[in-house]
Amino acid sequence: MKQFVFAVLTRLSLGAMVMATGVAHAEVVVVGSKQIPFTQISKTKLRDLYTGQSQLVGDAKVLVIDREDTFDRREQFISRTLGFTSEEFATVQRLMECIGISKAPTVADNSQHMVEMLSNNPNALGYLSRDELENHPLGAKLQHIKVLAE
C-alpha cells in the first residue's frame, strides 16, 4: 500500500514540476517568524511539509499553517509555489492521512489569524500576499522564506 501511495505521489510531483512555470507568484510569499532557523527552503521540502509527509526542516519541527479554501490566493500558492492543482493537493493530503503518516497543516481562519500564528510561534511557516506581509503591523516580526527551484 505504501509503495502505491509513494508511486502516486512521485508521479504527481514529477508532473507538477514539469507543468509549473515558476517557483512562486509575485503576489504570494512564503514567510516564517524571524526566529525560524532557515531563510530558504527547497520546493520539494515545502511540498512535503504541506502534504504532511514531513514536519521537520533539518532538526527544527515546523508548524505548517495553511489558509481557508476561500482565501483568494490559496490556489496561486498551491499551483505556482507547490506545483499541484487544488485537486491533486487534496488527494495527496487524503492519501497521506489514510496511510497514517501525515499531519495536516494548521488552518488559519483569516489573514489576521495567519499573521498572529506566524508571529507568535518561532517555528511557524505559512504564506501571505505580499500586501499582507508589508502592510500588517506584525509583518515586521516575519521574514520572507526563499523557495528554491529543484
Q: What is the CATH number of the domain that holds 117?
A: 3.40.190.10
**93 backbone dihedrals φ, ψ, rounded to 5°:** -60, -45
- Print the domain residue range for 143: 2-148
Q: Which of 41, 87, 138 is nearest to 128 (CA)?
A: 138
Number of domains in the chain: 1
Interval 46-75: pLDDT, tens: 999 998 888 999 999 999 999 988 888 899
C-alpha cell at 97: 492521512
Q: Which of 100, 18, 15 is nearest to 53 (CA)?
A: 100
Interval 82-119: pLDDT, tens: 999 989 988 888 888 887 766 778 999 988 999 999 99
